[in-house]
Amino acid sequence: AQKITQTQPGMFVQEKEAVTLDCTYDTSDPSYGLFWYKQPSSGEMIFLIYQGSYDQQNATEGRYSLNFQKARKSANLVISASQLGDSAMYFCAMKGAGGSYIPTFGRGTSLIVHP
């Protein structure tokens, strides 16, 4: 079975600073994908970044980067130069191959960016 753990229910960061949102996972699948989504108060789920389990390089998308540490089974999201518009819920998710293709989501982290 797959499991995603986000241990930070809430995080605060000053505008323009960097912040790391934690995510650890557990799976028996050798092949899997890790995702981060942002959910603002409007409710839409916005895709941020994807990391495949066999990817050698850490994924980056603009101000978002994924610190993938496979041995530790962690996939932390790093947001650099935080902006007020980054305030939202952030969800870590995982999809496996074969029978574990159903996506699993963490409980989410609420990020608040202070001016």
State the residues that interact with other proteins by CB under 8 A: 29, 31-33, 35, 37, 43-45, 47, 50, 52-53, 89, 91, 93, 95-98, 100-103, 105-108, 110
Query: Closest separation between CB of residue 16 and other proteins, Å?
Result: 27
Residues with Cβ within 8 Å of 61's Cβ and at least 6 positions away in sequence, in order, are: 48, 49
Q: How far apart are CA 16 and CA 46, in angstroms?
A: 21
Smallest gap from Cβ 12 to other proteins, in A, equals 16
Rounded Cα gap, residues 70 and 49, in angstroms: 16
Pick between residue 17 and residue 26 the one whose CB is nearest to other proteins: 26
Which is closer to other proteins, CB of 36 or CB of 81? 36
The DSSP bridge pattern shows strands 109-114 and 10-14 to be parallel
